[in-house]
Amino acid sequence: MSEIKPTQKSGIPPLRMPEGTPTKYSNMARISHTPSEIIFDFATMLPAVHPEVVARIVMSPMGAKMFMQALIDNITRYETNFGLIKLPIGASDLASSLFRNVQPPDKPVQPDNPEDEPKPEPDQPDGNA
């Protein structure tokens, strides 16, 4: 049996990605905790749709703090390469800021018979000529 060697860069063994592992998109997270664990509920929030949790991750407090440090390190490297990530100002939370006043588009009403479609009115003088 072969021994798993840590990567030279981080000391973390390589991850095996099982075939068929689903990829989920999340633009919202709820974080809660107990004395022994930190719970991350990742959700997808779309306009006019109730947010739905797509993944729940439970970590030890130490693991969550290590994850936080890794996330800070990665965001710092991202911003070095691509520029600062600008957050919206003035909202108490990111979701409210991103989705405030967003309404779903109205569905156009299709006439049953194309001949019933309203005809455009001729131009009316506006009296400002």
Instruction: Return the residue matching tokens 């006019």.
Output: 48
Instruction: Judge whether 61 lies within some domain.
Output: yes
* Residue 88 pLDDT: 74
- Least confident interval from 11-20, 74-83, 90-99: 90-99
* Residue 89 pLDDT: 75
Instruction: Judge whether 92 lies within some domain.
Output: no
- Short-list 47, 49, 68, 46, CA closest to 57: 68
Residue 46: domain span: 24-83
Instruction: Check: CB of residue 41 under 8 Å from CB of residue 30.
Output: yes
- Short-list 74, 76, 65, 72, CA closest to 40: 65
Q: What is the pTM of this model?
A: 0.60
* Residue 2 pLDDT: 47
Q: How many domains does the chain have?
A: 1
- In the predicted structure, residue 32 carries a pLDDT above the cut 80: yes
Instruction: Judge whether 35 lies within some domain.
Output: yes
Render pLDDT for 94-112 as a digit per residue (tens, 0 to 9). Answer: 556 555 555 555 666 566 6
Beta-sheet pairing, 49-59 with 28-33: unpaired
Instruction: Judge whether 5 lies within some domain.
Output: no
Tokens for 108? Answer: 């156009």
- In the predicted structure, residue 129 carries a pLDDT above the cut 50: no
Instruction: Check: CB of residue 47 under 8 Å from CB of residue 99.
Output: yes
Instruction: Judge whether 129 lies within some domain.
Output: no
Render pLDDT for 61-72 as a digit per residue (tens, 0 to 9). Answer: 999 999 999 999
Instruction: Judge whether 62 lies within some domain.
Output: yes
* Residue 11 pLDDT: 76
Instruction: Judge whether 36 lies within some domain.
Output: yes
Find the mean pLDDT for residues 44-54.
91
Instruction: Judge whether 51 lies within some domain.
Output: yes
